[in-house]
Structure 1
Amino acid sequence: MCEELFKQYNPILKSVCKEFWNKHFPKIDSYQDLYQTACYLFIYAYHTWQPEKGNFASHLKRVLSFKLKSMLKGEYAPWHDGKPFTFLKDVVRKSGNCETNLLEDEFFDMYIC
């Protein structure tokens, strides 16, 4: 059922992503990250949808709009389970007197072919 709905409502995902991208692209890392987040939010919308309260398309649009805007403000995706992700660019860059931890040479050498 979920896969069928995904195929049916994928145009909505793409439409919302396109609109959101056009408004906020300077803050977004990539369109692919945004679309992947929208797909994740589709799953969230599917599991939180209550058919007696309205159709799925309306619920999906509401979830996408609210959650993408919330994430744009720095909130985490729902159900992130302690492993938050974001579609935003890393706009805060540490500089100055901070210490950078680089890979140790021995560790790095293990991965060189």
Structure 2
Amino acid sequence: MQVQCHRESKYLKQWDQMSHYLRNLYLRWGIWLNTSMYYCEHFELIKEIIDKLDEKDAVAVSKAEHLFSAFNLKHNLVYIKANFTTLAISITQLETSGITLADSINIKIKININK
């Protein structure tokens, strides 16, 4: 447990805002889209943080290092961000309580236009 706390404190010291943002992502339907876009925008910083962790501390660290060193990960994240940002925004808008039918239809039309 102490090793985990050490890794967590190392991570949070590097960038405290990130943990707050990630906690809020769990509240959305489009979690995987928002998370992918977040990792795309902050890829280098997250990779730097992961590289500073000792892979001997946990299997998760070792797996994260392996994934972040994969050639196509960053390219795939850029593709998702470029092609699905409108969808993620639309999902968030459609989740708004009290949205009118007209607004819902307009959101759907915007999604179709951006295909």
Question: TM-score, normalized by length of structure 2?
Answer: 0.24
More helix by share: 2
Question: TM-score, normalized by length of structure 1?
Answer: 0.24
